[in-house]
């Protein structure tokens, strides 16, 4: 017997701030967090695109980016974020205690803005 999805599963449900619930899941906090720092490593071409960022207090953060197709669409390439560049990240911080990881919805690298998820911030 074929099972059909329950009503509403196919339509994405957006929460007030940031990422769609299906993207954010329970792994990330619902409110947006701002992080400023310096890019220390760039792995935006990997299977899971990420940037490594060091903040003013010396903590190292993993910043999860959008998928590679979206990054390319907005012009976020490996050459854009090089180690030493100043960066401002707006996104959802992980719920895991002690983990310095954030799912970015908006980046500003060296003064240039990159909206990873349209409409995520007002």
- According to the model, what pLDDT value does residue 29 have? 79
- According to the model, what pLDDT value does residue 65 have? 95
- Identify which of 79, 67, 75 has the alpha carbon closest to the alpha carbon of residue 104: 67
- According to the model, what pLDDT value does residue 4 have? 47
C-alpha span between 122 and 22 (Å, rounded): 20
- The parts of the chain modelled with pLDDT lower than 70 are 1-25, 120, 122
CATH number of the domain encompassing residue 66: 2.40.50.140
The answer as to whether 54 is a domain residue is yes
Give 87-100 pLDDT, tens digit per residue: 999 999 998 888 89
- According to the model, what pLDDT value does residue 122 have? 59
Look at the chain and report how many structural domains it folds into.
Answer: 1
Tokens of 4: 């059909």
55: containing domain: 24-115
- According to the model, what pLDDT value does residue 49 have? 94
């Amino acid at each position: 017997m074929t099972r059909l999805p329950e009503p509403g599963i196919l339509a994405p449900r957006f929460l007030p701030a940031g990422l769609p619930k299906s993207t954010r899941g329970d792994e990330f906090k619902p409110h947006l967090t701002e992080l400023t720092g310096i890019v220390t490593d760039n792995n935006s071409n990997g299977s899971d695109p990420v940037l490594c960022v060091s903040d003013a207090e010396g903590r190292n953060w993993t910043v999860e980016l959008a998928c590679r197709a979206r990054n390319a669409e907005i012009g976020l390439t490996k050459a854009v974020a090089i180690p030493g560049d100043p960066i401002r990240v707006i996104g959802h911080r992980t719920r895991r205690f002690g983990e310095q990881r954030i799912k970015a919805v908006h980046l500003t690298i060296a003064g240039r803005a990159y909206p990873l998820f349209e409409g995520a911030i007002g």
